[in-house]
Structure 1
């Protein structure tokens, strides 16, 4: 499978798992707890496959940056967490960094 598709699956699985953590109530609720465990398992498995083809530093920056942005958005939408101006600025800087890596880094070219 293509490494970028696997990275997308890894990011999506990690975001799903992290977003389910509050609903698990400290792993006392079975269904959200199962979502957390399966989500992280899929995320790390896919991430391990991606690292066969792409450099770990860049992959981790993209994975964690995208995860931060998406989990922040989910926290705002579903958990009524506030996003103030400094948070938006920080998320914008993270997004800019991920874009710079993807668009301009020679590390991603074999």
Structure 2
């Protein structure tokens, strides 16, 4: 009996960006301001900017991340994530830098690039 596993987007087994970069974005993206990002996962930076908890200091690990780096990394607010996360390009130079920092190889040409599920 063979099992058919769905192919996963490489980001789901990575999480390097969530363990490397500061995630800062405009306050209007918070739920309390009419946006989608849960307020309780952020803290104020200044009057019009907020930051995801866990991304202000080293070692970086976004509080919205579930799972282990390079194993299974899933954003628990994927559908509600900030513009900073939405605009982070898979397979970009920054993606490669984050992966290298954590000893992960760059994405491979044969890696599936399927939409991530929430």
Range of TM-score over shorter length: under 0.3
Higher helix share: 1
TM-score normalised by L of structure 1 = 0.27
Structure 1 or 2: larger strand share? 2
TM-score w.r.t. structure 2 length?
0.25
